[in-house]
Structure 1
């Protein structure tokens, strides 16, 4: 196998087409340079240079090998710097999971922050429900999740990204839009309800059942995604309880109404990651965004 010194020697001779000038360029004498070229040709198994007392010329094999030699030497010179950048978190890949709802709310602004903090790090995005994100974080398939509680605080560290209220989505022109006030529990008693799935959308299901007036006999559809839920509202299939960020979907035929009472902002989205941070890019991101102090 040839060495990088042999490659450098060959490139110098190929560019100078003169052993003396190439040796001077490399700060060495001509005999050891000649021996390097001979060893290189033996390793390659082909004559790379034609030389006599008057001239040096590349063979056809030498012309082809020159381009590869330049590429290999450039890679070798870049490799240490690349390794240092990855080890420091300035390069590499960051794998981020996100829920569908976060995709039309905080994901865009957060990605802008990440790109500004780590411009040379590639971002791999995966849309997953919270349970799938937690499993992927445990197996190392994800570095960072944008997920809903609960999660094990002994295994995961986290940062609350935002909170928001729940609103009721109704078809445009629905009688509830003409109340002139917030919607109260009694107003929803007989309304057909599009409900969150207790399996695929457990976080929203539990939150709605715990804090809002749900008449289970009124449930006409059960779905897992907020987008599907709002689309069904637009189709006049019923009303639905959705996070306020759903208003950003811009689906025609839907109006969003404030719920009465002091219900606060119960919907939470957290950035979560394993306490055993192994990806240097994640460690750098946590420091850059000041997540490590949360």
Structure 2
């Protein structure tokens, strides 16, 4: 697998820069307007091209749906386009002019190009020879932030905003600097999930953070400060994916909770993406192992518990966390 950008059309010998450029962007909705050629590409509700021809029904990509095949006929401009998704849905339109090209076994990351009265050029950014990320776990816990005793944070009341904030934390913690080219494909898969499962339009981490900050300003917020003897722990419920040897996470929910400095209950286990959990909770050190190259804190085996603790686990103490101050 590799990331490729390929362009079609724009071969007018008298005006190779015909039309105005539009940037490559992730796909949420997609349609075409066509006659004997492709008059316009309708991408995320915006028209790129003219108003001639007839508009197709638009594809609205669902969760985990992506374009996996494109057929193009092109020369001076784009004569024909067909898009197919991994769910088997298709839209197409145009004429029979130009040279035919096909891109198969791909995952399209974004589309761009040039347009005027027609769609002059289309540029496709995609992963070649794509194999879907393998889902290896659901409902797992991942620690994404720790608020030491005495510190205060401001958080949004909205559960969706909390999830978006968690997305940016995981983006930074998992796909931060220094991880190398092995993360390029997983990062694109992560960004594609951000595009398909949220209303975020940006494609870089800083742009996403800026967009989230703008949303936070419109939402109700509250102050969180751990009570004495407690630290705040931001925990995300995540799905776990694997691409080759690289494992990454995508949050479904996220919450900040107070946890006693004495540590977590015996049945708690989670990935620690911060790498500092044992610094704040030294009693957890003995439970730390490495899982998929991440710090992972495992539950204490039942046989290792004291008799009273064992009874709590077996008979009704189903809470994950230590009691919190009322």
Q: TM-score range by the shorter chain?
A: under 0.3
Instruction: Give the number of the structure whose residues are more often helix, by fraction.
Output: 1
If asked which structure has higher relative contact order (CA below 8 Å, sep 6+), I would say: 1
TM-score w.r.t. structure 2 length? 0.23
TM-score w.r.t. structure 1 length? 0.25
